[in-house]
Amino acid sequence: MAIEDFYCDTVTPLTLADTTDAMGGSTRVWNTGTTFKGRLQSIYGDIAVSVEKEKAITTDRLYCAPEVALTIYQRVRVSGIDYEIVRISKKRDKTSVRHKEIDLSEL
């Protein structure tokens, strides 16, 4: 059984963008991207992860295909809940990348 067979959650990437309103002011909004399949798993006990962001608490981990293009400056939405991306890592075997593990913090 391939790891992709376990990707049962629909994930929507969110990207921050600036828009101009009718009065000429600027507003920041999270635009939705193309959905992809992944698997969200809760992490029991808070795990402190120190990365480019000062300090963040990881509450969940998302597993997805290696070709999914995300950055730590985006967010993801799963089942109507938004998550901040804390860390992205690629899991390899001897010859290729098998999947990505994305540590998330629920907002």
Cβ atoms of 81 and 105 within 8 Å: the answer is no
On the CB side of 70, CA atoms within 13 Å amount to 35
Q: Residue 91: which region, alpha, beta or left (left: phi > 0; alpha: psi -120 to 50)?
A: beta
Q: Residue 37: which region, alpha, beta or left (left: phi > 0; alpha: psi -120 to 50)?
A: beta
pTM of this structure: 0.83
Per-residue pLDDT 10s for the chain (107 aa) are 677 788 999 999 999 999 888 888 888 999 999 999 999 999 865 555 555 555 667 889 999 999 999 999 999 999 999 999 999 998 887 777 889 999 999 99
- Other C-beta atoms within 10 Å of 84: how many? 20
* Token reading at 53: 């962001």
Domains along the chain with CATH numbers: 3-106 (2.40.10.270)
